Structure 1
Amino acid sequence: MSMATAKKASSKAGGIRFAEEHATTAAAASAHSHVHFDEKLHDSVVMVIPEADGNFLVKVGFLKTQHKYEIVFTLPEVPSLGRDVCPAPVPSPHLQIKEITAASDGGLKVTCEYMAHQEGVMCEEMIIVSERKEDVCVKVKVHARVMDRHHGTPMLLEGVRCIGAELEYDSEQSDWQGFD
């Protein structure tokens, strides 16, 4: 008897019992995976990763298109940069630094706003410059996975907060008659 035939025979023979056993097994597996998930809660915060060149990568997790987010993270202390810093003009219109303050541990607490404008893996760059030392700066790349606004709501990481959404334009609801 082949494996497929054996499977058919066993599921036919114990149809109701098989379903009960499967439900119990699924519940046990679900409980196990839930416990496993709880062990990984350290992944629920914005991650600041130092790069070899002295710059930083900030991973902010999943966001939703056409939504604006406030992102707050702390950079470790960069002695060459100092504590008197300011944002350089940002080349991206989607990412803006709103505030940089000294953190209690010697680092810099950065508050920025990001407009998730396009679906996919996005990497926007910001530059923080020293106010006292010419030509001293730190580049910060903000990395996000942006999902379409119709594909659910992501669980935001600690340090990320949705502060608004753009209204969706629906051409079918428009009262514009077009050109004559």
Structure 2
Amino acid sequence: MHSVPLVYYFELLAIQEAEMEVDSRPSVHRVHFQESLDTFGHDSGILVQPLNDVLINAHLGFIQINHRYEVRFQFDCPPHLGSLSVRTQDPPNLNLRVVELKPVVSTGLKYEVVLELLAYKEKILREQLVLQSCNNPLLTLTLVLNARVLGKGKGTPFLKTGIHCIGVEMEEESDLSDWQGFD
């Protein structure tokens, strides 16, 4: 059995303490992640998935009930459609309004759309927007917006890039608005 003299052990401890930086502030524990392992930023944008030439899915992520959002994203336009315009709906959709639809200047095959969306129900919200070709109104492209809507008291969602909360709607059912009648 080989034993190290106790004197060497204490000298080693003294050297290690001298090499350590002494900080008089109270210790604060923080978690640090390597930036190379950070994948958070890769999923922070709206996911736009063309399913075919006439249907595009846009996944908005989590939003909150009774909140009104501005949603802005770009999508590729199939070449056979040419210029696009918004097809009017009858009756109009009160929960989804097109603020702007414009071609991206760098290429005529990509469009940017700005929408105003109201999260009017909990769980899964699916809204459709139909665009039509300016050359032939029978040719259409449907944008399907998908979102997971958190109910009241279920937390505050982290909004994806391109989504901004622009207002909160008053709740229809409230204890303050219920008339109790005469006593």
TM-score range (shorter-chain normalised) is 0.7 to 0.9
Distance 1:88 1:79, change over 3 A: farther
Bigger proportion of residues as helix: 1
Unaligned runs of 5+ in 2: 1-28
Please report how far the alpha carbon of residue 84 of structure 1 lies from its aligned counterpart in structure 2 after TM superposition.
4.3
Moved more, 51-60 or 119-128: 51-60
What amino acid is the match of 2:80? S
Whether 2:98 is the aligned partner of 1:97: answer: yes
How does the TM-score come out when normalised to structure 2? 0.72
Q: Deviations over 1:121-167 (max 9, x none)?
A: 11111100112213011011000000013222111000101010012
Q: Which residue of 2 aligns with 1:76?
A: 76
Q: Which residue of 1 aligns with 2:170?
A: 167
Unaligned runs of 5+ in 1: 1-26
Separation (CA, whole Å) in 2 of partners of 1:173 and 1:163:
25
Whether 2:136 is the aligned partner of 1:133: answer: yes
Separation (CA, whole Å) in 1 of partners of 2:65 and 2:181:
28
Off by >4 Å, runs of 4+ in structure 1: 30-36
Q: Deviations over 1:54-86 (max 9, x none)?
A: 310001110000000010111113212212423
Provide the alpha-carbon RMSD of the alignment: 2.6
Match of 1:147 among 150, 160, 170: 150
Whether 2:55 is the aligned partner of 1:52: answer: no
Q: Which residue of 1 aligns with 2:112?
A: 109
Q: Which has the larger radius of gyration?
A: 2
% same residue: 31
Match of 2:124 among 116, 121, 124: 121
Please report how far the alpha carbon of residue 169 of structure 1 lies from its aligned counterpart in structure 2 after TM superposition.
4.9
Moved more, 81-90 or 98-107: 81-90
Moved more, 78-87 or 130-139: 78-87
How does the TM-score come out when normalised to structure 1? 0.73
- Where 2:52 maps in the other structure, the secondary structure is coil
What amino acid is the match of 2:76? P
Separation (CA, whole Å) in 2 of partners of 1:147 and 1:78:
34
Answer whether contact 2:85 2:134 (CA < 8 A) is retained: yes
- Where 1:41 maps in the other structure, the secondary structure is helix
